[in-house]
Structure 1
Amino acid sequence: MREEHLGRWHSTGPFRRSGSPGDSMEKIYDSTDFSAHDALDAWAATTADAVMPTGFRLVGTEPFHGWLKVAPLGAVQISAMAYHSFRCMRTPKLIRRADPECFQVAFMRSGRHVLEQNRSRTALQPGEMAIFDSSRPFESWADGESLLIQFPHTLLPLPTSRIHRILARPLPGDQGIGCLLADFLTRLEGIGADCTPQDAIRLAAASLDLVTVVVAHHLECESEVPADSRQRSLYLRVLAYIQGHLGDPALTVDAIAATHHISVRSLHRLFQQHGVSVRAWIRAQRMERCCQDLADPTRRHQPIAAIAARWGFPRPADFTRAFRTRYGITPSEFRDRAYGHGTGAGPGNGRLVPRSRTPQAPDHRS
């Protein structure tokens, strides 16, 4: 299975990061720790170890400033970074010196980015992403913030020669499966220290599934994606769809199945593999959003019924009954506790543990 491969690969992979899968995202570089004279050289040394050896040259006269955080997930690594205007070059000489033989997918969060590789040159806008290859020379000009996921060539189950067709080309990260990948990477930036090694391997597998589907979509070869990857990515797409339509009272099992061109039976089976029913997942997510809004001071004067309706509970009595069944108190009691009125939770303590055994979130196990 892919998860077993990911776990085995970690011990022999090219990344020289200290730590183990499951470590929280760690800041390993901050330009404020160095003098203006040494900041760029220190950045080059840090990124050579954490990402790959590249050459850097400042654009302009201002000193370099930036930061870098990384999270190792077995064979996969997630990096979050910010940087001042520079030119970055990976030359044939640097490739001969050290090549992790990896693909990188960069999601541009802000600023200006120009990337050139494999005879393709593109100016990337915030919200776009691009894939590039450590084994081929490239050049970039960058100023802003980005997220980077990197992984060995061998873990992307598509021919490398075919992937090279879309190197350094803009891929949308604000729509379709690309949006889900961008959101997933953004959430991984907040990975916590409670993430176990097995959690890390599952997250790595989920991220690779999403990358695979994004690449296959743009190469128009979805049918060549392994069946297990297609199944896991379908599950993630369904979750993303539900998250984006929680406020719609018409969000039904039938509607979700029709949108994703699968049968209702297949949809139920998809969720059963993760230990939760479709309806239970929808209700749990809606309840969680209601709790967040009820505990939000900026919504303090918003009627409870309006908050409930906003998240798909059009009948106040039904919402109150469901809330009490799930949490053991009424929505108004919860709101009072969140603001420090009455007994129980104090200000800002806006989380409740459901009394039911319904999982709060299905995991991403294969």
Structure 2
Amino acid sequence: MIGTVFRSDEVPVEHRFDYWRELTHRAIAPSEMSSEFADDFWARQRLLELGPLMVWPTAHLPTGFRRTEKLVRQADPEMYHLSLVLGGGLGFEHVGRAEVYGPSDLWVSDTSRPYDVHPPADLGREVITGVGVDFPKALLPLPPARIGQLLGRRLSGREGVGALLTGFLTGLEQQADSLQPSDAPRLGTVLIDLLSAWFAQVLEAEDALPPETRQRALMTRVRAFIRQNLHDPELTPPVIAAAHHISLSYLHRLFQEDSPGETVAAWIRVQRLEGARRDLADPNLGSTPVHTIATRWGLVRASDFTRAFRGAYGVSPTEYRAQARSVDAEPSPLWTRS
């Protein structure tokens, strides 16, 4: 597991808001925080340290955050802050801009400038959910003047690299319990590459990114595209290359440089087999025929699927399903090999 988790239910009710406020102050730039529900507060938050980046998935009752000129003078960590709204709504005022944000909206702020975050007046006791990211300005390979064009703007996490960034951030919390501390630096590198690629896309400044950043961000997009299209039996390296406007040879080189010895086709096969393995172990899919599950993962030839499955996990799909039912437990290390 990576990160630490705060649950307000574990704190006496009269101390919950103050405890959460102090926790938040230690994690990000200090701000004045207030809530009309402070006397009966509820919040859940995980703090994930990914190298120099801090990611904090959170759910809480409506709260206001106000960073004043005085607080900026007292402490400025020289960070950019990204907020992704997942549920509820928030108003945000920064660098002379005022916007209202809803689900899948993002904003960027600068800890060196005042800001005011406030819930809509009609939100009531609705829980606000989202993900915050704080990272040093020096990590971005784009000049501050260009980033300044994004501050306080309502940006979309619904398409392009913004959607990929949204998926990565939400996936971090979903997988946090299975990730190890040794994974954190690598995840931090992936995240800063995604942030850089997203900023560059929004600013139409992709050429300003270092080649290695563009390449790593492209590799992340390629793998996400493959995962989203595993059901398609026509998903092949030429199709993937065409979808990303790159040559087939460059696609193969990307995989070789990212994971030496790994081919595009082999990675696709591993992802499909692992998806089928999970479905075969799912008791909710116990009545679904094996060939139907295989087809859902783009494995349309039954004999090829059975042979590949046995080669990867040591048993046939039918045998694996029977064993998973009989032990009613997690698969053995042999079965989860990838």
TM normalised by structure 1 equals 0.85
Q: Tell me the secondary structure at the aligned position of residue 152 of structure 2.
A: coil
What are the within-5 Å matches in structure 2 for residues 129-148 of structure 1?
129-142=106-119, 143-148=127-132
Count of residues in correspondence between the two structures: 328
Kindly indicate whether the alpha-carbon contact (under 8 Å) linking 1:111 and 1:145 is maintained by their aligned counterparts in 2.
yes
- The alpha carbon displacement at 1:175 in A equals 2.1
Q: Is 1:279 matched with 2:265?
A: yes
2:89 counterpart SS class: strand
Of residues 201, 205, 212 in structure 1, which corresponds to 2:189? 205
**Residue 24 of structure 1: aligned partner:** 2
Going from structure 1 to structure 2, the CA distance change for 1:95 and 1:309 (only over 3 Å counts) comes to same
Secondary structure at the aligned position of 2:131 is classed as strand
Higher helix share: 2
Q: Flag the 1:242–1:351 CA change in 2: closer, same or farther, 3 A.
A: farther
Q: Distance in 1 between matches of 2:178 and 2:316?
A: 33
The correspondence of residues 184-333 of structure 1 with structure 2, limited to 5 A, is 184-189=168-173, 190-192=175-177, 195-197=180-182, 199-273=183-257, 274-275=259-260, 276-333=262-319
CA distance change for structure 1 residues 252 and 351 in 2, over 3 Å: closer, same or farther? Answer: farther
Q: Identify which of 78, 81, 104 aligns with 2:81.
A: 104
Residue of 117, 120, 125 corresponding to 2:97: 120
In the superposition, relative to structure 1, how do residues 233 and 260 fare at CA in structure 2: closer, same or farther (>3 Å)? same
Compared with structure 1, are the counterparts of its residues 62 and 256 closer, same or farther at alpha carbon in structure 2 (3 Å cutoff)?
same
Q: What amino acid is the match of 1:223?
A: D
Aligned to 1:353: 334
Equivalent position SS for 2:61? strand
Q: Name the CA distance, whole Å, in 1 between partners of 2:199 and 2:217.
A: 12
Partner of residue 46, structure 1: 23
**Runs of 5+ in structure 2 lacking a partner?**
120-126
* SS of structure 2 residue aligned to 1:140: strand
Are 2:22 and 1:67 aligned?
Answer: no
Residues 139 and 315 of structure 1, relative CA distance in 2, 3 Å threshold = same
In the superposition, the TM-score normalised over structure 2's length comes to 0.91
Once the two structures are superposed, residues 346-365 of structure 1 have per-residue CA deviations (whole angstroms, 9 ceiling, x without a partner) of 1142466369xxx83xxxxx
Which sits farther off after the overlay, 73-82 or 169-178? 169-178
1:55 aligns with 2:39: no
Which ranges of structure 1 fall in alignment gaps of 5 or more residues? 1-22, 341-345, 361-366
Q: CA deviation at 1:67?
A: 2.3
Residue by residue over 1:48-88, the C-alpha shift from the partner in whole angstroms, topping out at 9 and shown as x without a partner, is 11112110122468632212210112211111111111221
Per-residue CA deviation, residues 313-337 of structure 1 (Å, 9 max, x unaligned), is 1111111111112222110000001
Identity %: 36
CA contact (8 A) 1:295 1:348 kept: no
Offset, 1:177 = 1.2
Distance 1:174 1:49, change over 3 A: same
CA contact under 8 A between 2:27 and 2:54: conserved in structure 1? no
Counterparts of 2:264 and 2:236, CA distance in 1: 9
RMSD of equivalent CA atoms:
2.0
The reply on whether 1:168 has 2:156 as its aligned counterpart is: no
CA contact (8 A) 1:68 1:80 kept: yes
Q: After the TM superposition, which of the residue ranges 42-51 and 249-258 deviates more from structure 2?
A: 42-51
Conserved in 1, the CA contact under 8 Å of 2:4 and 2:46? yes
What SS does the corresponding residue of 2:245 show, helix, strand or coil?
coil
1:6-25 aligned within 5 A: 24-25=2-3
Q: Would the alpha carbon gap of residues 30 and 352 (structure 1) be closer, same or farther in structure 2, given more than 3 Å must change?
A: closer
Q: 1:174 to 1:47 in 2, by over 3 A?
A: same
